[in-house]
Amino acid sequence: MNRRVTIAGLLAAAGGLGASALAWRRWRGAPPAMAVADRLPLSPLQQVDSIYHLGHSLVGQNMPAMLAQMGGHAYASQVGWGTTLQQHWNEGAEVPGYELHAKGMPEMPAKEALASGQFDVLVLTEMVEIRDAIRWFDSPRWLSEWTRLARQGNADIRVYLYETWHNLDDPAGWLERIDADLSEQWLGRVLAPAEARRDTGMIYLIPAGQAMAAVARAAEDGHLPGVTSRDDLFARDDQGALDTIHIGDLGSYVVALTHFAVIWQRSPVGLPHRLKRGDGSEADSFGEEAARQVQTIVRDVVAGLPYTGVTPQRLET
């Protein structure tokens, strides 16, 4: 992706939704197979009772728990360590670090959960490094397989691809990879060819990588009180050493806001910013002023990308 979407979102954060609406109409960052004109907006769901998350440690336990506090829904998840969509298909021993989590419902393996037809939303993500996942683990095929399985259980289920990010110390640059990889990898080499497979249907985007980058840029430009660096969005170990891939509480909040804005098609501005982690403990939080600015940035990133299925007008209030 080129830098125009991120800039549009940050401009809109300062001056309303006008810049994002313009980006939604004019954005040309995707390959021809993903033409903007082909992405019909989704109608808002009347109610979201349950979400299934399928992924790895960039899903984790805290982000789904924060999202549930925003949306008031039940959720379940199947996660592993750096797990591919292909490995998840085989379940159990094929998934390193295999874990099931749930809140407000029983823990369920992904295939069983989707076959039950009880989920309104399925959120899928692929392993990082995304280029290796595409090259060696046939990401489009398995994104399609999971989508088709979900729609066999519930024809009306909404399916989303959660765009993540790479290591902060990536030689090509963290922001640079996020800017480039949306169009080149996530849309161009995963989502578009998955949709082209028989009986897959539309899959929409949760642009969490874009939101993380936009918030990081705002922090490093001095626009977020109390937050000065992209590092502040990431976890640290007990000795204070930075984890260059896994998000901390602040990053989890940004990602949860992005999920909320896309799935509910509502502005995240005004949502609570003091939330609990998955284990029930109090999460670290942005200050009140910074939290509102982060909510606004996330709103405008989502409004600026038609691949979310959300029109800017949905996020005006």
SS (H, E, C) 129-174: CHHHHHHHHCHHHHHHHHHHHHHHHCCCCEEEEECCCCCCCCCCCH
Q: What is the value of pTM for the model shown?
A: 0.91
Note the pLDDT tens digit of each residue in 34-84: 555 467 899 999 999 999 999 999 999 999 999 999 999 999 999 999 999
Predicted local confidence at residue 35, as pLDDT = 52
Predicted local confidence at residue 19, as pLDDT = 46
Predicted local confidence at residue 40, as pLDDT = 80
Closest by Cα among 22, 49, 50 to 36? 22
Q: Which residues in the chain land under pLDDT 50?
A: 1-16, 18-33, 37
Helices of type H across the chain:
4-15, 18-26, 62-71, 85-90, 110-115, 130-137, 139-153, 174-181, 192-196, 208-220, 249-264, 288-303
Are the C-beta atoms of residues 79 and 53 closer than 8 Å to each other?
Answer: yes
Helix, strand, or coil here: 43? coil
**In this structure, how many other beta carbons lie within 10 angstroms of the beta carbon of residue 25?**
11
Predicted local confidence at residue 91, as pLDDT = 78
Predicted local confidence at residue 92, as pLDDT = 76
- Between CA 23 and CA 7 the distance in angstroms is 9
Predicted local confidence at residue 38, as pLDDT = 64
Q: Which residues share a beta bridge with 159?
A: 122
- Between CA 118 and CA 71 the distance in angstroms is 17
Predicted local confidence at residue 151, as pLDDT = 98
CA-CA distances (angstroms) from residue 88 to 240, 241, 294? 32, 31, 33
Predicted local confidence at residue 317, as pLDDT = 64
Predicted local confidence at residue 60, as pLDDT = 97
Predicted local confidence at residue 17, as pLDDT = 55
Domains of the chain: 4-315 (3.40.50.1110)
